[in-house]
Amino acid sequence: MPNPPCILIVDDDPNLLELLQLALEHNGYATVLAHNGLEGETVFNLEGPDLVMLDVMMPHRDGFTLCQVIRQQSNVPIIMLTARQEVEDVVHGLELGADDYITKPFNLREVIARVGAVLGRIERQRSAPPRVITIGAVTADLERRNARVNDREVVLSPLELELLHYLMSHPGKVFDREMLLHEVWGYEYFGKTNLVDVAIRRLREKIERDPSVPDYILTVRGQGYRFVAENELSKPA
């Protein structure tokens, strides 16, 4: 019987740690705990968890810093836990490589649903058949788990690679935010979130010559986003 997914929870609130631990283990997950950012890094290196949940405001090392440290060495999915409602703080965590964020106070059912969606997405990536798509100078390679622009490899997180591959699999088709959240993130309940916009912006910064005037990932005003079709790129200027 396979071992259950292991989740590292890093938070300086012992009551919240216990609450999350009980809820996750009740739903079939294994957990390991840390009470601050420095301890979180140590436990992460020792345990190699399948998912990390990080509080933002912690002593010794905050969640943003720990997220950055983890992302430099691993593509493990990261969910930020934050009481901050400001858009800038949420966006900052996503730009550092977090996969999702949950604002406090939160509903435990929502937490379990988010965890399941993130882990489900990772499992789909691992089990997906080898697929390579090239449009113009951009290649999304699920076989080698990387992307290239003009034969130069670009570093993408697993989520960014899946989003890029999904858009490239449907060239020219417009996707609204809810559709992308459902198809790529695997979320059934969306609420108010800017996950898609931040992920699109990060992709543009990595694959476009000029992210402010993209050639590949286009915004369709009032509708969503689309990846250009090959015949659009071949048109003379």
In order of their start, the domains of the chain are: 6-126 (3.40.50.2300), 129-232 (1.10.10.10)
Q: Are the CB atoms for 148 and 139 separated by under 8 Å?
A: yes
pLDDT, one tens digit per residue, over 169-186 is 999 999 999 899 888 888
The pLDDT value recorded for residue 73 is 87
pLDDT at 103 over 80: yes
pLDDT, one tens digit per residue, over 25-34 is 999 999 999 9
Q: Are the CB atoms for 180 and 196 separated by under 8 Å?
A: yes
Region of poorest pLDDT, from 92-101, 112-121, 168-177, 217-226: 92-101
How confident is residue 205, by pLDDT bands cut at 50, 70 and 90? very high
pLDDT at 224 over 50: yes
Between CA 49 and CA 227 the distance in angstroms is 34
The pLDDT value recorded for residue 237 is 40
| Ramachandran sector of residue 31 (left: φ over 0; alpha: ψ -120 to 50; beta: rest) | beta
The pLDDT value recorded for residue 78 is 93
pLDDT, one tens digit per residue, over 131-140 is 789 999 999 9
Sign of the Cα torsion 146, 175, 172, 126 reads positive
Q: Concatenate the DSSP letters of all residues of 171-196 into one string.
A: TT--B-HHHHIIIII--S---S--HH
Q: Give 208 or 100, the one with higher predicted confidence.
A: 208
Here the tokens at position 156 are: 């993408």
* Across 100-115, average pLDDT: 87
Give the residue among 154, 188, 182, 150 at the shortest CA–CA distance from 166. Answer: 182
Region of poorest pLDDT, from 3-12, 169-178, 192-201: 192-201
Q: Are the CB atoms for 140 and 133 separated by under 8 Å?
A: yes
Give me the phi and psi of 198, to 5 degrees please: -65, -45
Between CA 105 and CA 82 the distance in angstroms is 9
* Across 142-151, average pLDDT: 87
Half-sphere exposure of 186 (CA within 13 A, CB side): 17
The pLDDT value recorded for residue 30 is 96
pLDDT at 110 over 50: yes
pLDDT, one tens digit per residue, over 84-100 is 665 567 778 888 888 88
The pLDDT value recorded for residue 152 is 92
How confident is residue 236, by pLDDT bands cut at 50, 70 and 90? very low
**Quick one: 225 exposed, middle or buried, by C-beta within 10 A (0-12, 13-18, 19+)?**
buried
57-91 in b/e form (b: 16+ CB < 10 A) is: ebeebebbbbbebbeeeebbbbbbbbebeeeebbe
Q: What is the pTM of this model?
A: 0.69
* Across 205-220, average pLDDT: 94
Q: What's the mean pLDDT when you consider all of the chain?
A: 87
Here the tokens at position 116 are: 């399941």
